[in-house]
Each structure stands twice: as C-alpha cells, then as structure tokens.
Amino acid sequence: MKKYLLFNLLIFFLNAQSGIEIAKMVDSRKIPKDQSNITKMVLTNSKGKQRINIVISKSMDGNKKQIMWFLEPKDDKGVAFLKIEKKGKDDEMRMWLPAFKKVRRISSKKRGDSFMGSDLSYEDLSTREIADHNYSRLDDQTINLKLCYVLEIFPKKESSSSYSKHISWIEQSTLMVLKEESFDKRGQLKKKKEFLNKELNDYLVMERIFVEDVQKKHSTEVTFEDYKVDTGISIKLFQEKNLKRLPRN
Amino acid sequence: MVNFFKPGSEIRDSWDFLDEKMTGTIDIRVRVEGDMKNPETLSSMINLQSIMEKDEKVTTSYSIANIVEQMHRTVMDDDPNYEIIPENRAKVNNLFTMYSMSGDPDDFSTMVDYDYNVGLITAFSKVMTTIEIFDYVEKMNQEVKLLKGSDINLEFTGMIVILRDLVVMIVNSSVLSIILSLIIIGIIASLFFKRILWGVLAVLPLSSAIIINFGFMGYFGIELSHITALLSSIIIGVGVDFSIHYISQFRRLSQSVDSKKLSREVIDDVGYPIVLDAGSNMGFGALLFSVFLPIQYIGGLMVFAMVSTSLGALTILAASAELLKNRLIDKG
C-alpha cells in the first residue's frame, strides 16, 4: 500500500510542472539549425477581399536570422527583406527595393507593428524570451483529441510587448503550440491563432498558421511549402548583398 | 449652418475657432476610381488637390498621392526634390510594399481601398455661404470633367455636396409645397363654400403675403436658402384662418343684410376679432430673442405673417368680395 501511494505521489509530482517549467520544456525542444520554405500568406479583410503574398524564406537560429525574397504578387517580384534579431536591441531590418536599386532600413521601434500587412506582428514572429514573461499553468484541456497544457503567459514590462496576456494550448506529447489567444493592453481579446504542425526529419515544424484579429475582423493564413531543414545555410547568407539576388531554390 | 447661431454663442465661437485656428469645418471629398499605383492617376490627384486649394476658404487637402510623395522623399534620403510622384508604377509599388513591412494595414484605409482601385481626396474648408458652396461645387465639377479619362473616373462629393443638394432639395420642395398647399386650400374652400370663386378668394390674401414676403427678402438682400424657403411656407398655415372667418361671415350675412351694406357689416363683425387674433399671436415675437437664428426667423416671420395675412383678409379679400358680390350672392 505504501509503495502504491509513493508511486502515485511520484506520478503526481512528475505531472505537476509549473508554468515556467513547461515553458522551459517548450523552449528546449529540438529545432532545426536552419530552415527554408516557400511561404504563402493569404490576407483576408472584413469584407472578404484577399491579398496573396508568396515569398522564398530562409532562416536560422530559430528564425532569429531570416531572409526573404518576394515571388508574388508579380508587382513585388524581386523585393527582398532581411531581419536579424539582436538581444536587447532593436531588430535590424533591411529591404531591397529593385525599382529604386536601393537597400533601405526599416524602422523596428514597435514590436507590435504588423509584418507585411498581415495579422502577425514582429512580436508574434520573434522568439519569446522566458525571462521576459511570467507563466501560470491552468487546467489541462483536450483539443482535437490531443491533451494540452494550458499556460497563461504575462509579458513583463521589459519585454516591451504590445500584449497584456497570452493563453497557449501546448500539446503534451510534442510540446508544440496548437492554439493561442492574445489579449491587448486593455485585456480585450485581440488575436486567435491556430497552428498545424508536421514531422520532418525528426523535427516538428509548422505547416500552417491561421491568425484572426478579432477586433479588426481581418485574418491571415500562412502555409509553408517545400519545407527543408538543416540544409547547411551559411550565416553569410544573411547579408545585405544577398537581398539583390533571387535564389535558385 | 454657422449663421444659425448668434456671434458670441458657445457653439458659434467653437465653430469660428475651428475655422480661424484649425483646418475648417466643411469636408470636401473626391472619389477617384483608377489604378492607385499608377503615377498618372496619382499626379492627376495632386493636380486636382492644388486646384481645390486655390479657393481661399479651402485650407488643406490630402490623399494617398501625398503619402506616396512623402514615402518617395524618405526613400531618397529625405531629399525634398524627390517629394514628387515617382516616374513609374514599379517604384510606387515598391514604396507601398516597403510601408507594409512594418506599417499598420489600416493606416491607408481612409485614403485608398484594399485593392488600390479607389482613392479618396479629402479637403477641409472654412464655412461657406450657400452661394459660395454652389459656385465651388460647380467649378470643381468642371475641373473633375477635364481630368476624367479612360483610366480614371472622379466624382466630387462630401459634406459640401450634401449641403448643396440639401439646399436645392429643400428650396424645390418648399416651393412645390407652397403651390400645392395653395391649390389644396383653394379646393377645400371651394367645396365647403360651394363655389370655386370662394376658393380663389380664400387663397388670395395668402398668395399676396407670400409674394410680399419674397419681395421683402429680395429688397433686403436675404438669401433664398433652405431655411428661408422652409419658413415661408409657415405663412400658409397661420394665414388661412382669417380668410375663412371673413368668408363664413360674408356668406352668413349675405342672407339677411342688404348687399350695399354687406361688406361694411362683415368687417364690423369680424374685423375686430381678426385684428385681435393677429395681435394675440404676436406672442410668437418672443422667439426673436432666441440664440438659434432659425428660431428668430420663425418669430419674425410669424409676426410678419399675422400682419400681412390679417391685413390681406381685411383689404384684398374684402375688396375682392365687394367687387364680386353680385356673383357671390346671386349664386350663394
């Protein structure tokens, strides 16, 4: 009987990770060294009108370094964008404007600014630093038959976040986020995000992101095609001069 | 609209402040259909804006074309020489794409639609008189016609056009309602007094009062605006009573009084009550002290309507009835 109780207690403690422990588990998940894909972004406004952007994207260090070349719309073909996240500093963002034959720096003062007119902000796309957030675990829930941890995430002041809170549903077996709700500074629901993941070369990568800005009634669907991981992308790729040349693949 | 309020009143002072210190209170808009990334379309918008701003009362204007000019300057190292529309579509498109990398997608939503097919020029003007509004809208419509082409379609609109259409609509409908009211009153009087001639005579003092009203307006330089046209129709409502009093008494006494003394007897009987009725309604004169000028107009007009229609009934109607009494009594 004693043994049975001890066993149960051990199981209980193993299952009783705190919010921050779960966040650390998610953060320590194995990620590819580099990634490349063709990203299709469909923006839909409240009247149902759509804009479609297709870009070639290459990134490393968990998207902290990213370079993109526009393929569509046709008017934008040749436009390219480079982003390098720098800890404790503003992100470095540069853009190649082929019609002007100039590279221009893009302002990155506000992390809540929209990325490419979509419902994803630079903050949504950047890595969430554990030290800059407080975590609180809620009751576990099941989404699409997948048992999930549910975390409340509160950005600290130093994170300069545009949000007051996130609620994330994290699949327990894979530690991948399946769903997230983000709340604005007034505590009102701002965005609903859904994530679809797939397995690729021992990694779990995102296949589709759907974001709805419930306040603006605007949505963005991002799908990733031709996904490749660990292809040996060199750090030298993330240089201004490479913006001017559309890659072959 | 601003003239509805007396100088010194709070609302008039606020209005004047917006006009004198800010960009004005009347908005003017031009809807532009065309490719909003085409430099020719954007240049046409800039041209139209400079024409719009030539009027001394128009203080400012803005459109997506101004934003493109500003972005162009920024990309060209903030060189003021580049604060112009770029020479080709690819450059314009690059500017929009660059902005979209970090700008809020809603930033341009008041100036251009989601597909960049419809743009809006917005201008602000200080308060204009009805005549100035008519002149300005007419002039701008001419300019808009000149700029229209196969690739671009422009429509002049905004509060200024609404005001113009409102004035036209109210003036036209007021004139129509005055004419219709006179006809209907004439028909009702004809039916009740069983003679068409009575119907004609019943509306005679009213018609005279309206003609005198518009005559005075012309003489004193009061504009025929939506307010003055609307208020003039009040005369009909308040003035018809006196004619009916007079005609009823005339018909009643015609049964018993000699025709030679008939008009004198009628005036002796109803003259004093009509004057008293008109006098008591002078209480409406209190409205002359209102801060809201249209209420003042109503007060003044009521006083004028009482005087003109009561005098009309006792002079024009009485004289006409006397002249036509043989036809009126014989068949009455």
Can you tell me whether residue A232 is helix, strand or coil? coil
What does the alpha-carbon distance between residue B99 and residue B71 come to, in Å, rounded to a whole number?
Answer: 8
Domain count for chain A = 1
Residue B226 confidence class, pLDDT cut points 50, 70, 90: low
The answer to the question of residue A132 being in a domain is yes
Sign of CA dihedral A11, A13, A19, A25: negative
What does the alpha-carbon distance between residue B126 and residue B28 come to, in Å, rounded to a whole number?
Answer: 11
The answer to the question of residue A118 being in a domain is yes
What does the alpha-carbon distance between residue B179 and residue A107 come to, in Å, rounded to a whole number?
Answer: 67
CB spacing of A116 vs B100 below 8 angstroms: yes
Yes or no: say if A149 and A26 are a contact pair by the CB < 8 Å rule: no
pLDDT of amino acid B136: 82
CB spacing of A113 vs B102 below 8 angstroms: yes
Can you tell me whether residue B321 is helix, strand or coil? helix
Can you tell me whether residue A239 is helix, strand or coil? coil
The answer to the question of residue B245 being in a domain is yes
The answer to the question of residue A2 being in a domain is no
Residues B98-127 have a mean pLDDT of: 85
Predicted confidence (pLDDT) per residue in B275-329, tens digit: 998 888 888 888 888 877 778 877 888 888 888 888 888 999 999 998 988 888 7
The answer to the question of residue B208 being in a domain is yes
Residue in B with minimal Cα distance to A100? B91
Best mutation target, B94, B99, B112, to test chain A (most A CBs within 10 A): B94
Q: Nearest Cβ partner of A81 from B76, B91, B101?
A: B101
Chain B residues within an 8 Å CB radius of A108: 102
Q: Considering only CB atoms, which residues of chain B are within 8 Å of chain A?
A: 37, 75-76, 86, 88-91, 93-95, 97-98, 100-106, 114-115
| ipTM of the complex in this document | 0.79
The residue ranges of chain A whose pLDDT is under 50 are 7, 9-14
Judge if B18 and B153 occupy the same domain. yes
Write the CA distances from A137 to A112, A152, B134, B155, integer angstroms: 25, 6, 67, 58
Residue type, B284: F
Judge if B276 and B148 occupy the same domain. no
The answer to the question of residue B185 being in a domain is no
Sign of CA dihedral B119, B125, B130, B136: negative
Predicted confidence (pLDDT) per residue in B238-264, tens digit: 778 889 989 999 988 988 888 888 889
pLDDT of amino acid B256: 86
pLDDT of amino acid B325: 83
The answer to the question of residue A7 being in a domain is no
Can you tell me whether residue B26 is helix, strand or coil? strand
Judge if B17 and B137 occupy the same domain. yes
Q: Where are the beta strands (DSSP E) in chain B?
A: 26-33, 58-62, 118-125, 153-158
Q: 3-state SS string over A77-114?
A: CCCEEEEECCCCCCCEEEEEECCCCEEEECCCCCCCCE
CB spacing of A117 vs B114 below 8 angstroms: no
The answer to the question of residue A5 being in a domain is no
Cβ-Cβ contacts under 8 Å for B265 (sequence gap 6 or more) = B253, B257
Residue B69 distance to chain A (closest CA, Å): 14
Its domain, for residue B90, covers 2-164
The answer to the question of residue B20 being in a domain is yes
Residue B285 is given by DSSP the state G
Its domain, for residue A228, covers 19-244
Residue A160 distance to chain B (closest CA, Å): 16
Cβ-Cβ contacts under 8 Å for A128 (sequence gap 6 or more) = A153
Q: Nearest Cβ partner of A45 from B93, B103, B114?
A: B114
